[in-house]
């Protein structure tokens, strides 16, 4: 999903949420918008999946896998799942919002002689990432699309939030994963070999 597309669209309501028109990112059949809970005023991010755009039977069968996977996870550096809703042909996945942009934009926007993040800052963010990935794997979750664009920052830009579990799946030692998927620039080679078994190690490669 392309991140940081902060354009404005129509303001409307879905359940208890007021969609304020800010679009964080867009993909082939989904987009992520900012919203506010109308009762408690909490800002959230809502992934809107349009079922009419999903033609593959495999994708339709696994439509609810992303929120089910997210429900397994409880970590300060992983975007929390709040709830899901179905309205017409659309699935709404309500999750924790991270208002600081993505890690890719932070790194590319860094200034200075090194043209990158200062080592202490990079080390701190890397430690958070390692902790979050360790938590995922301990709960049997393989992300399969870890990349800087899927690592968001909170409003302070001091803490990361891993997002976009659309390609994630549950793994166990007795049931290795096989489906080729991921982003070419970050993916482990075995992710693109038909029938090749793999597990959490593909996240470590990324």
Question: Could you give the residue numbers annotated as active site?
Answer: 145
Collapse the DSSP code of 40 into the 3-class scheme (helix H, G, I; strand E, B; otherwise coil) and give the result. Answer: coil
Give the DSSP H or E segment for 144: none
DSSP letters for 72-89 = T---TTBPPEEEEEEETT
Handedness of CA 181, 182, 183, 184 (dihedral sign): negative
Contact present, 106 and 153 (Cβ < 8 Å): yes
Tokens encoding 174: 């007795």
């Amino acid at each position: 999903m392309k991140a940081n597309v902060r354009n404005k669209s129509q303001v409307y309501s879905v359940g208890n949420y007021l969609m304020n028109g800010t679009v964080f990112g867009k993909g082939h059949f989904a987009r992520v918008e900012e919203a506010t809970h109308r009762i408690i005023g909490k800002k959230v991010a809502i992934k809107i999946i349009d079922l009419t755009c999903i033609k593959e039977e495999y994708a339709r069968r696994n439509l609810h896998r992303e929120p089910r996977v997210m429900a397994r996870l409880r970590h300060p550096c992983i975007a929390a799942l709040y709830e899901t809703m179905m309205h017409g042909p659309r699935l709404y996945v309500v999750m924790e919002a991270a208002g600081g942009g993505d890690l890719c934009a932070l790194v590319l926007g860094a200034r200075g002689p090194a043209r990158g993040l200062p080592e202490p800052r990079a080390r701190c963010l890397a430690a958070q990432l390692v902790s979050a990935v360790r938590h995922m794997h301990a709960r049997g979750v393989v992300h399969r699309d870890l990349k800087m664009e899927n690592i968001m920052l909170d409003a302070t830009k001091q803490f990361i939030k891993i997002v976009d579990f659309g390609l994630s799946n549950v793994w166990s030692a007795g049931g290795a994963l096989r489906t080729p998927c991921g982003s070419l620039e970050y993916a482990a080679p075995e992710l693109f070999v038909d029938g090749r078994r793999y597990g959490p190690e593909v996240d470590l490669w990324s």
